[in-house]
Amino acid sequence: MTTILIVESNPASGIAAAPEFVDALQLIDPSVKTRTVHPYDAEVTEADLEGIDGAIFTGSGVDWSTDAPEAAPLRAVMERVFDAGVPSYGSCNGMQLAASVLGGSVGASPNGREDGLALDIRLTDAGRAHPFLAGRDDGYAVPCVHRDEVQRLPEGAVLLSGNAHSPVQAFAYEQGRIRFWGVQYHPEITPVGIAEIFERLGTGTEAVRADYRAAETDAGAARRLGAAPGDFVPLTRLTEIRNWLTSLAG
């Protein structure tokens, strides 16, 4: 039985990201067990890390970047996971966190925010060959919400995909005991979830929000958003998480 540690990257006062990963993992494999920790609110103990097969670092809605002093509790947990040789996955803030911990750099994108969908994502040659992106083809689109991006990859990291907004949309770092796979986007967020985020932020027109609510089953809505209808099929949307979970069995 696979047990996944989910590291919630928001304080209790923020919007929780871990439940979306719980739902995603259950959709992929109902037998997976999850354990969630909250480093901003409570110390992560050795018991929390015992018996886990992998660790997921969620996205975050905090104001600070992953290399800011405020993010120290998250960085400390990731360092412990890396030291323990636990395979890990990061989405958005989680990928940026790995870049910071491993010696890269993160900052606000000069292109502004990328909210709604990361569009027209292109694979690198390494990305086409890497199991993390198996099933992805050039031009795919995935839900996303972010301000910051990875601006310099850590030495030894492998760029897997990017788009015109953020050149680093996915990377892998596999050196020594560390095996980290990460994406800038959010496969775990449903299109309905994006509509809810837009409502909370007060962004996007009602017509756009309606298209997000319908996009999973309405091909016209998906196309109006700039995506292919297949991009919103749940197990296609969850490609990276599904591939990462499969890799743990190997």
Give backbone dihedrals phi and psi of 95, rounded to 5 degrees, phi first.
-70, -40
Neighbours of 33 (CB within 10 A): 12
| Model confidence at 1: pLDDT above 90 | no
Residue that has been written with the tokens 């009602």 in this structure = 206
Model pLDDT for residues 165-186, shown as the tens digit of each residue: 999 999 999 999 999 999 999 9
Confidence of residue 53 (pLDDT cuts 50, 70, 90): very high
| Model confidence at 160: pLDDT above 90 | yes
Q: Are residues 159 and 173 in contact, defined by beta-carbon separation less than 8 angstroms?
A: no
| Model confidence at 250: pLDDT above 80 | no
Q: Which residues of 182-203 are buried (b: 16+ CB within 10 A; e: fewer)?
A: bbbbbbbbbbebbbbbbeeeee
Res 58: pLDDT: 98
Percent residues over pLDDT 90 in the chain: 96
Percent residues over pLDDT 70 in the chain: 100
Res 40: pLDDT: 97
Q: Are residues 143 and 186 in contact, defined by beta-carbon separation less than 8 angstroms?
A: yes
Q: Is 180 helix (H, G, I), strand (E, B) or coil?
A: strand
Q: What is the mean pLDDT of residues 64-89?
A: 97
Tokens for 194, please give them: 């994006």
Neighbours of 79 (CB within 10 A): 12
| Model confidence at 14: pLDDT above 90 | no
Q: Are residues 88 and 53 in contact, defined by beta-carbon separation less than 8 angstroms?
A: no
| Model confidence at 91: pLDDT above 90 | yes
Q: What is the mean pLDDT of residues 116-144?
A: 98
Supply the residues annotated as catalytic. 92, 186, 188
Mention every residue, 6+ apart, whose C-beta is less than 8 A from residue 42.
Answer: none
Res 79: pLDDT: 98
Indicate if the alpha-carbon torsion angle 148, 151, 152, 157 is positive or negative. positive
Confidence of residue 201 (pLDDT cuts 50, 70, 90): confident
Res 220: pLDDT: 97
Rounded Cα distance between 72 and 74, Å, is: 5
| Model confidence at 13: pLDDT above 90 | no
Model pLDDT for residues 203-226, shown as the tens digit of each residue: 889 999 999 999 999 999 999 999
Confidence of residue 202 (pLDDT cuts 50, 70, 90): confident
C-alpha to C-alpha distances, 66 to 72, 98, 130, 199, 207, nearest whole angstrom:
8, 9, 26, 26, 34
Q: What is the mean pLDDT of residues 45-72?
A: 96
Neighbours of 250 (CB within 10 A): 6
